[in-house]
Structures are given as C-alpha cells and as structure tokens.
C-alpha cells in the first residue's frame, strides 16, 4: 500500500515538473519572439500574409459562429427569463454577454482551431523538410522571420475579429428577438445601447488581443519544435489546438477576475 501511494506521488510529481518545464519553454519562446518585434529588420511581407490568413480569412467562421450564438443566447435568456417575468432583459444580457465573454472567447476558440493548427502544420512541415535549417544557413533568424510577424498579426487581428463578432452576435440576437420573440425593433436597439457600457466592449477587445497572442505563440512553438515525419507534424498540430484552447479558457477566467472582480 505504501509502495502504491509512493508511486502515485512519483507520477504526479513527474507530471507537475514536466508541466513546469513546458510553461518555461513556451515563456522563453514567447519572450524571444516579442523581443524581435522591437529590433529591425521587420518582415512586412510575412506580416501582411499572416494578417490576411489570420484576420480576413477567419471572418466567415467567426461571423457565422457569432450570429447563431447570439440568436441561441436570445432564445435561452427569453426562456429562462419568462419564469421570472424578466423577458425584457434579453437585449441587454445578449449585448453584455457577447461583448464581455462569448464574443472574444468564441472568436479565440474558432481562430485557435483554424489558425493555430495551420501555423503548427506550416512550420512543422518547414522543420521536417529542413527549410528552417536553410534559413539559418542564409543568415536569417527563423524566430524573427517566422514567429514575430505571426505574433504581431494575430495580436492585432483578433480584437478586430472579436469586435465584428460582437456586432454580428448582437445582430443575431436582434433578428431572433424581433422575428421570433415579438420585440419591438426600436425598443430592442434602445435597450441594447442603454445598458452596454464602454468597459464591457474594451474588456472584450483586450481579451481578444491576449487570445490572439496565445494562439500565435502556441502554434509557432509546436510547429518550430515538431518532431520528424508526418506523425510529428500531426502531433504538433493537435497539441497546438488543444493547448491554445485550454489556455484561452484559463486566461479568460483570469482576465474576467481582473476586470470584473468586486
């Protein structure tokens, strides 16, 4: 029994130390990538291509997700509020919920699934085919050329995506509220603007910027450290999506506690 208990502590301790090492490696990797943003040269072509891939091409999935989430949120709030005669709170709760939480979090998760996997697969393939080694041979810093532009693009693009997601999600709630729940269009919009504050929107945009940073760093880290072969690239892609998604949820809790703790 004592031996069994000691084995459990050994495995738990080993997992904890491995997690600490992983956090340390990612932190050092992120610090190195950010440091290159402050030192020339900056590769604007790589930045522009990453901005298109992360920002513009993510608009359809973010917009559709936000629209249907806003509509479903309106239905759920109306169904729950009708038990307490609080149906009139639907517009304000939809707006606040989308701006504070659902907009940035859903946007972060959608972009993590689409972008973190793409970055990890792209850089992992470059690692396997020795293209990153070729950059070093050509006296080009891989972190400056591949990592820094993606970090900058994701950090700048995510607040824009989250802002558009907020608008589309609130519009989805408006469409459902007016067409299905019998709200007056002008009163719905008036209630939305009356209770939505600047702090709600700003907090969501700050969250989105942090989530974009996480997605880019995690995707680049797993891609740059991919193992050899197709399995290594596939494992790096899977780990990038899983890690960035968990970090987004955990960071969202920490930022919510920071912004809105009593």
Q: State yes or no: pLDDT of 154 exceeds 90.
A: yes
* Range from 15-19, 114-118, 200-204, 233-237 carrying the lowest mean pLDDT: 15-19
Tell me the per-residue pLDDT of 102-116, one tens digit each, with 9 for 90 and over. Answer: 899 999 999 998 898
Q: Average of pLDDT values for 31-49?
A: 85
The pair of three-digit structure tokens given for residue 240, joined into one six-digit string: 């990038």
- Helix, strand and coil content of the chain, in percent to the nearest 5, comes to 90, 0, 10
User: pLDDT band at residue 231, thresholds of 50, 70 and 90?
Assistant: confident
- The alpha carbon of residue 257 and the mean position of all alpha carbons in its chain are separated, in whole angstroms, by 18
Q: State yes or no: pLDDT of 5 exceeds 70.
A: no
The pTM assigned to this predicted structure is 0.89
* Mean pLDDT across the chain: 86
Distance (Å, rounded) from C-alpha 107 to C-alpha 211? 9
Tokens 């917009």, residue located: 63
Distance (Å, rounded) from C-alpha 115 to C-alpha 216? 8
Residue 67 CB neighbour total at 10 angstroms: 20
Distance (Å, rounded) from C-alpha 177 to C-alpha 182? 6
Q: State yes or no: pLDDT of 14 exceeds 80.
A: no
């Amino acid at each position: 029994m004592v031996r069994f208990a000691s084995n459990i502590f050994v495995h738990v301790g080993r997992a904890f130390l491995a997690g600490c090492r992983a956090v340390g490696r990612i932190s050092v990797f992120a610090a190195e990538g950010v440091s290159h943003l402050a030192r020339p040269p900056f590769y604007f072509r790589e930045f522009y291509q990453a901005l298109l891939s992360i920002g513009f091409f993510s608009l359809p999935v973010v917009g559709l997700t936000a629209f249907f989430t806003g509509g479903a949120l309106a239905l759920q709030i109306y169904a729950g509020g009708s038990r307490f005669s609080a149906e009139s709170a639907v517009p304000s709760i939809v707006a606040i919920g989308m701006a504070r939480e659902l907009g940035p979090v859903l946007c972060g998760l959608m972009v993590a699934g689409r972008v973190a996997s793409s970055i990890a697969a792209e850089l992992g393939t470059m690692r396997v085919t020795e293209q990153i080694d070729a950059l070093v041979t050509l006296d080009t810093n891989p972190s400056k050329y591949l990592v820094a532009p993606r970090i900058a693009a994701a950090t700048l693009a995510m607040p824009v995506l989250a802002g558009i997601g907020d608008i589309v999600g609130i519009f989805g709630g408006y469409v459902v509220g007016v067409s299905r729940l019998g709200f007056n269009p002008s009163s719905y919009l008036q209630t939305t603007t009356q209770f939505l504050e600047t702090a709600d929107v700003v907090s969501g945009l700050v969250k989105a910027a942090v989530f974009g940073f996480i997605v880019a760093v995690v995707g680049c880290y797993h891609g740059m450290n991919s193992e050899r072969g197709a399995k290594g690239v596939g494992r790096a892609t899977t780990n990038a999506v899983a890690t960035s998604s968990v970090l987004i949820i955990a960071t969202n809790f920490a930022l919510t506690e920071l912004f809105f703790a009593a």
